[in-house]
Amino acid sequence: MGSIRRECLDHIVVFGEAHLRRILAAYAVYYKELRTHLFLDKDLPGHRLVQRFGHLSVRPVLGGLHHEYCRM
């Protein structure tokens, strides 16, 4: 609960219940699939391949509040 508040809701203005539900759903996907965790030695819950070559690409998550970085 603290992560959602600190990393998401403290930085976004919520415009109603439907908007809040979309924000929380997007954050849940980000938290489970994209965000690194210190407990896992800065890895994802589902392990990812190390991408050493290619151009760095960035994709905004939650309207640019967070970002996903990958190589293409």
Query: Residue 40: pLDDT above 70?
Result: no
* Mean pLDDT computed over 16-21: 94
Please tell me whether residue 51 adopts helix, strand or coil conformation.
Answer: coil
pLDDT value of position 34: 74
Among the residue ranges 11-15, 32-36, 65-69, the one predicted with the least confidence is 32-36
Query: Residue 70: pLDDT above 70?
Result: yes
pLDDT value of position 18: 96
Q: What is the DSSP letter of 13?
A: -
* Mean pLDDT computed over 28-49: 72
Q: Measured between alpha carbons, how far is 34 from 43 in angstroms, rounded to an integer?
A: 9
pLDDT value of position 2: 78
